[in-house]
Structure 1
Amino acid sequence: MLVSATAPAQRKPADTTTVATLLRLLPFVRPALPRISMGMLCALGAGLCALAIPQVLEALVDGPLAGAATSGDTRGLWLAVAAVLGLGLLEVFFVFMRRRLILTPTTHVEWSMRTTLFKHLQDLPLAFHDQWPGGQLLSRAMTDLNMLRRWMAFGIVMLVVNFATVGVGIALMIRTAGPLGWVYLLGAVPMAILSFRFSRRFRRIARLSQDQAGDLATTVEESVHGIRVLKAFGRGPEAYQSFASQAGELRNTEMNKARQMSAFTFSIITIPEAVLGGCVVWGVWLVTQGDLTIGALGAFFATAAVINGPVEQLGQLLSMSLTAKTSVDRYFEVLDSENTVADPEKPVHLDEVRGEVRFEAVRFHYPDAPPIDLVPAPTHVPHEAPREEVLTGVDLTIRPGETMALVGLTGSGKTTMAALVPRLFDVTSGAVLLDGVDIRAMTREYLRTQVAIAFEDATLFSATVRENVLLGAPPEARTDDDLHRALEIAQASFVHKLPYGIDTTIGEEGLSLSGGQRQRLALARAVAARPRVLVLDDPLSALDVETEEAVTARLRAELSDTTVIVVAHRPSTVALADRVAVLQDGRVTGVGPHSELLVDHLHYRFVISSLIEDEEFDRARGLRV
């Protein structure tokens, strides 16, 4: 499959009852419960008003209406008409109040759940985001929570009220026309059996549908982000076929849902209607025998007409509740994900940060498995092999204010070491220390005000140049002077030629800019943060050699008291570093100035020769970004 974030997954949803799952919503719903409860009472009041009208009609037919035909006294008739009108108006008022009371608080519940989810996503480590497709997270944050809001505002309220209305209605039917009411009640037995079977089938289909929708959203997201690649290689038709295949699977699932729903709805409509058909024949016979009055028979069928609406809604409300159950499951699958890179209970703050970084016996491997079964294992592999260690015991000290270059072949662990310093991942064993203090003893917020990182893959946001560059700057460093200083150090003067200068919105992910321009803005963002330790994970790879040298020289001049750790892929960058650390098979096998390592370290000479070849190739191409 050319463009697919995730193949349709064989997920393992939590095996909990619908009630137990929905009870997990209580912490979010509790502030809104008073208004929801009052709204539910108003809905119940509307139902009771509707049920009271047939009782008035019974009294009207058997009393004032019959009396008016013989005596001509119409006062009782007009009183009954006034009562029916009053009950109708009261029903309308209750319906209005139900909507007024419920709609606003349920939107607040949705807002609270959505912001809680987003905050948790921001808090979760990179390992989580590496394993979860973006479309799945998007569908949980948007579609699932929207579904939950509609269920809280309508589904659960009407489900409870309809059951109460049907119960009271059947009781009134038994009181009014005893045997006919009992017959109608017996018709509920097959409906209960059908409802139980329907809920078991529909729950699985609803979960599959929502998961497939998340997979489809991921495919759209990746296709949009990779549109340049698809166009460049002319793979649009293949991307379309892949998307159409996934969309077809979702359509088939939705059709299956519709078939299940229509079959259930047909049954719960047909059974009561068939029962009422039998009741018509029996009721007329009872009237002819004098065992039932005409008013009672009319009230029975008027009451049946009132409760038939709630009965027919049962299928829709039940399916909505089951879909809400799967939405809650999917929501809490993310919210229950454990943050493995957490803050300590008693954090340490340094009085003064000098910028010494030390790796002590650091070992690291990436997480072995995703948090849930999002991607099925290949059928030809009996089990997933454990991840190999990327770092196998790194010892390295970087002095305050020095520039340390990390050099090694691809896969030697350079980028991993860079990611460990701001604690984007936690070490498997050993420790990373800042000024002698384990970084795990500090809060992540505090640590990341002292350590800034610029990645090779520069990520920008749909915002202005100013907002992107000052994203991580402390409040006191968000002035125009600080902004221009960061842009100057990063050699990003091109921003002044944009349509609105530094206030130009650069668009989603900055794709309106070239790769080199994005990298320079990302570097300016790191500089503007005023870190004590600056980590550069090959952030200038898209620049030509001369521009990279100019940026590096300016960094050394302006940030002379800042500790700089740079993942180097060019000899020109390496030569500007105070010292170089050579990584080989997950270990540091040599540390020293560039010139000394060239003499004493065989593997370093091999790595540098490879870098020289790459640099000469860049020069030959005349790369200009």
Structure 2
Amino acid sequence: MRTSAAQRTSAESTGTSTSKEQATWPQLLRVLRRLRPHLHGQRLLIAGGMLALLGEVLMRLLEPWPLAVVIDRLVPVVATGQGRDGLLHGVTLCALALGAVVALRALFSFAMTMCFALVGNRVLTRVRAELFAHLTRLPMDFHERNRTGDLVTRVTGDVGRLQEVAVTAALPLVGNLVTLAGMLAVVAVLDWPLALAAITVLPLFALLSRRSTRRIASVSRSQRSAEGDLAAVAAESLSAMPVITTYSLQERLQQRFSGGNEKSFRDGVKAKRLAAALERSTDVLVGIATALVLWFGATRVLSGALTVGELTVFLTYLKTAFKPMRDIAKYTGRLSKALASGERIVDVLEQRSQVRDTSWARPAPRLRGFVRFEQVWAGYPGGPPVLRGLDLTVRPGERIALVGPSGAGKSTLVGLLARFRDPDGGRLLLDGHDVRDLTIDSVRDQVTVLLQESVLFRGTIAENIALGSPFPVSPQEIVRAATLAGADEFVRRLPHGYETVVGERGSTLSGGQRQRIAIARAAVRRTPIIVLDEPLTGLDEKTEGEVRAALRRLTEGRTTFVVTHDPAHAADADRIVTVGVPAVAGPARPANTGPQMARRPW
């Protein structure tokens, strides 16, 4: 089935590892290093949160002492019956002090939670924005290797999980660890032999926690990957409902989805079982430590080394000090899932496009449309070259038809023009400038590619047309572009005209209407170079004639490349370039299989 192959592809392309031997701490540090630049602007909130954290820890340290004072004064009075008169006043003061300490601890805790929650939400909101922006700039071959549903899960689900766990689990755990350090210091001052008895279980807990955490993290990574594949299957299926319904594929796709769903379920149960085992083991260790302290502490009281009140403080501290151990056990599953989500986010952010601006790149001037390929070699990553030593010169305003069998290099040639990829060898010159000496955005702003599938975005027709221009577009310019594309007439007949909202991918419009809106979107760009990639495929004869006329108006006076399999569509080109036969697998040889030019044969 395709699911397993897709899982391997996704893991390989984004660098995700699901090895059970993978260490947790290096992965945590890797995620934190990626988040660190976003923390620089949050220093004031972080400082405020740390002060509130220290204040809460101080109140926790003070909280048992009023009770200890009461016990130490109450026990002699109960035992001897003397000194009852002043006892009530002292107890009242201790009760008020305890109330004040608890109130201050709650206030500090609230301030700490709000500061750290704001930091976490702000940082991860920026991470989500960075992740989305990075995804939109990654090359097409990355998106071809990865499934859309899985990438959407990384942007929404993985960032959301990291955001939620950072506030509800990680931050309380940090506070408890600081409290643990403070309490261990106080009890060591009170009675260091008793403190040693209390911490005897810590090495055993550290060993148990390390082993369990690594296993839970491994299972959580696997589960998160399975959830990403589930999202990919769901997105792929829901976007192809006409095909699914036509071919009655509901049962097959349900089986595919169920297989991934079961895997996610099994991984989830395993993670819960491991976390529950760690939590219960921790309870046992805490119980053993408490029993040791109770027995050894009682002997210390009987020997006069401790008072009953101090032992009470010690036991209270012990209960609070062991809370981080319970929290680690309780939150290990959630923290491991958050770490897995963080890894998936970082995996994408660390992807780098092979097409990047050089250090000397400069913005392209306004181009006239003079295009020259000089001994250009190019192919898909990891495959043999499909363009081998291409030499082609196109004058400004010239119309070139690219014909040839599938896989012969037509799309590769188009990708070079739009800088989806750069030549593996040779040079591509625009108005005499090597494209690698120009910034990517400035080149793409002057090249318009009209694809075979006219994709519209959910929004109004006016918004879809305006998306074609990198600059603000006036309503008059939108109408002029629609008129040039032959779309103005049918748009005005729609219920709300240019403010009519189209469905997802333009599903509420016909194929011809979508294509003419796409032509209008291309028209507002006013670029000197235009690429038409099979723009007439799938249209009926009448619609094809209307779209062909719109394309002629769009490309008039502009350097135009027409990619087509139909000789009739190439008939009105100034020249026809026949792209050679597809390259076969094997070592690349500089054979004479590149494009050949021919005068119009039809």
TM-score w.r.t. structure 1 length? Answer: 0.85
SS class of match (2:491): helix
Residue 45 of structure 1 and its aligned partner are, at CA, apart by: 2.6
Please say if residues 519 and 550 of structure 2, whose CA atoms lie closer than 8 Å, have aligned partners that are also in contact.
no
Asked if residue 462 in structure 1 is aligned to residue 467 in structure 2, the reply is no
Please say if residues 451 and 533 of structure 1, whose CA atoms lie closer than 8 Å, have aligned partners that are also in contact.
yes
Residue 511 of structure 1 is matched in structure 2 by 507
Residue 545 of structure 1 and its aligned partner are, at CA, apart by: 3.2
Provide the rounded CA distance (Å) in 2 between the counterparts of 1:40 and 1:154.
17
Give matches, 1:438-457, under 5 Å.
Answer: 438-457=434-453
Residue 104 of structure 1 is matched in structure 2 by 118
Residue 109 of structure 1 and its aligned partner are, at CA, apart by: 0.4
Residue 591 of structure 1 is matched in structure 2 by 597
Q: Which runs of 5+ in 2 are unaligned?
A: 583-592
Choose which of 9, 12, 17 in structure 2 pairs with 1:12: 17
Residue 18 of structure 1 and its aligned partner are, at CA, apart by: 4.6
SS class of match (1:25): helix
Residue 524 of structure 1 is matched in structure 2 by 520
Give matches, 1:163-562, under 5 Å.
Answer: 163-176=177-190, 179-284=193-298, 287=301, 292-349=306-363, 351-368=365-382, 387-475=383-471, 478-492=473-487, 493-557=489-553, 559-562=555-558
Please say if residues 512 and 547 of structure 2, whose CA atoms lie closer than 8 Å, have aligned partners that are also in contact.
no
Provide the rounded CA distance (Å) in 2 between the counterparts of 1:388 and 1:31.
47
SS class of match (2:535): coil
SS class of match (2:502): coil
Residue 90 of structure 1 and its aligned partner are, at CA, apart by: 0.8
Q: Deviations over 1:386-430 (max 9, x none)?
A: x13222222222221122111222222222222221112222212
Please say if residues 407 and 569 of structure 1, whose CA atoms lie closer than 8 Å, have aligned partners that are also in contact.
yes
Provide the rounded CA distance (Å) in 1 between the counterparts of 2:325 and 2:362.
62
> Which residue identity is paired with 1:12?
S
Mark the CA change 1:4 to 1:452 in structure 2 (over 3 Å): closer, same or farther.
farther
Residue 86 of structure 1 and its aligned partner are, at CA, apart by: 1.1
SS class of match (1:390): strand
Residue 293 of structure 1 and its aligned partner are, at CA, apart by: 3.1
Mark the CA change 1:427 to 1:526 in structure 2 (over 3 Å): closer, same or farther.
same
> Which residue identity is paired with 1:213?
E
Residue 590 of structure 2 is matched in structure 1 by none
Provide the rounded CA distance (Å) in 1 between the counterparts of 2:51 and 2:165.
17
Residue 512 of structure 1 and its aligned partner are, at CA, apart by: 2.4
Choose which of 43, 58, 65 in structure 2 pairs with 1:55: 65
Provide the rounded CA distance (Å) in 2 between the counterparts of 1:349 and 1:20.
38
Provide the rounded CA distance (Å) in 2 between the counterparts of 1:480 and 1:290.
90
Please say if residues 3 and 239 of structure 1, whose CA atoms lie closer than 8 Å, have aligned partners that are also in contact.
no
> Which residue identity is paired with 1:436?
G
Residue 473 of structure 1 and its aligned partner are, at CA, apart by: 1.8
TM-score w.r.t. structure 2 length? Answer: 0.89
Provide the rounded CA distance (Å) in 2 between the counterparts of 1:100 and 1:348.
45
> Which residue identity is paired with 2:6?
T
> Which residue identity is paired with 2:29?
A
Provide the rounded CA distance (Å) in 2 between the counterparts of 1:566 and 1:81.
87
Which stretch shifts more, 68-77 or 127-136?
Answer: 68-77
SS class of match (1:430): strand
Residue 42 of structure 2 is matched in structure 1 by 32
Mark the CA change 1:589 to 1:363 in structure 2 (over 3 Å): closer, same or farther.
closer
Mark the CA change 1:390 to 1:61 in structure 2 (over 3 Å): closer, same or farther.
same
Q: Which runs of 5+ in 1 are unaligned?
A: 369-386, 599-625
Which stretch shifts more, 217-226 or 349-358?
Answer: 349-358
Provide the rounded CA distance (Å) in 2 between the counterparts of 1:41 and 1:265.
31
Residue 70 of structure 1 is matched in structure 2 by 82
Q: Deviations over 1:431-459 (max 9, x none)?
A: 22212222222212211221101001222
SS class of match (1:565): strand
Q: Deviations over 1:329-359 (max 9, x none)?
A: 3222211112211123233455542212222
Q: Deviations over 1:191-238 (max 9, x none)?
A: 111112122222212221222221111111111111221111111111
Please say if residues 362 and 431 of structure 1, whose CA atoms lie closer than 8 Å, have aligned partners that are also in contact.
yes
Provide the rounded CA distance (Å) in 2 between the counterparts of 1:426 and 1:282.
75
Asked if residue 91 in structure 1 is aligned to residue 105 in structure 2, the reply is yes
SS class of match (2:393): strand
Mark the CA change 1:58 to 1:363 in structure 2 (over 3 Å): closer, same or farther.
same
Please say if residues 39 and 99 of structure 1, whose CA atoms lie closer than 8 Å, have aligned partners that are also in contact.
yes
Provide the rounded CA distance (Å) in 2 between the counterparts of 1:458 and 1:155.
46
SS class of match (1:12): coil
Residue 563 of structure 2 is matched in structure 1 by 567
Which stretch shifts more, 351-360 or 118-127?
Answer: 351-360
Please say if residues 177 and 297 of structure 1, whose CA atoms lie closer than 8 Å, have aligned partners that are also in contact.
no
Mark the CA change 1:320 to 1:35 in structure 2 (over 3 Å): closer, same or farther.
farther
Mark the CA change 1:537 to 1:467 in structure 2 (over 3 Å): closer, same or farther.
same
Residue 144 of structure 1 is matched in structure 2 by 158
Asked if residue 131 in structure 1 is aligned to residue 149 in structure 2, the reply is no
Mark the CA change 1:82 to 1:495 in structure 2 (over 3 Å): closer, same or farther.
same
Provide the rounded CA distance (Å) in 2 between the counterparts of 1:328 and 1:211.
12
SS class of match (2:562): strand
Provide the rounded CA distance (Å) in 1 between the counterparts of 2:595 and 2:191.
94
Mark the CA change 1:510 to 1:49 in structure 2 (over 3 Å): closer, same or farther.
same
Please say if residues 432 and 439 of structure 1, whose CA atoms lie closer than 8 Å, have aligned partners that are also in contact.
yes
Provide the rounded CA distance (Å) in 2 between the counterparts of 1:145 and 1:324.
9
Provide the rounded CA distance (Å) in 2 between the counterparts of 1:353 and 1:286.
90
Provide the rounded CA distance (Å) in 2 between the counterparts of 1:239 and 1:558.
42
Provide the rounded CA distance (Å) in 2 between the counterparts of 1:352 and 1:337.
32
Please say if residues 364 and 392 of structure 1, whose CA atoms lie closer than 8 Å, have aligned partners that are also in contact.
yes
> Which residue identity is paired with 1:424?
F
Residue 290 of structure 1 and its aligned partner are, at CA, apart by: 5.3
Residue 471 of structure 1 and its aligned partner are, at CA, apart by: 0.8
Provide the rounded CA distance (Å) in 2 between the counterparts of 1:547 and 1:133.
33
CA RMSD of aligned residues (A): 2.6
Mark the CA change 1:300 to 1:277 in structure 2 (over 3 Å): closer, same or farther.
same
Residue 490 of structure 1 and its aligned partner are, at CA, apart by: 2.7
Please say if residues 536 and 548 of structure 2, whose CA atoms lie closer than 8 Å, have aligned partners that are also in contact.
no
Which stretch shifts more, 493-502 or 401-410?
Answer: 493-502
> Which residue identity is paired with 1:29?
L
SS class of match (1:542): coil
Residue 589 of structure 1 and its aligned partner are, at CA, apart by: 5.0
Please say if residues 455 and 537 of structure 1, whose CA atoms lie closer than 8 Å, have aligned partners that are also in contact.
yes
Which stretch shifts more, 490-499 or 234-243?
Answer: 490-499
Please say if residues 7 and 215 of structure 1, whose CA atoms lie closer than 8 Å, have aligned partners that are also in contact.
yes
Residue 372 of structure 1 is matched in structure 2 by none
Residue 325 of structure 1 and its aligned partner are, at CA, apart by: 3.5
Provide the rounded CA distance (Å) in 2 between the counterparts of 1:312 and 1:41.
25
The count of residues paired between Structure 1 and Structure 2 equals 577
Identity of aligned residues (%): 31
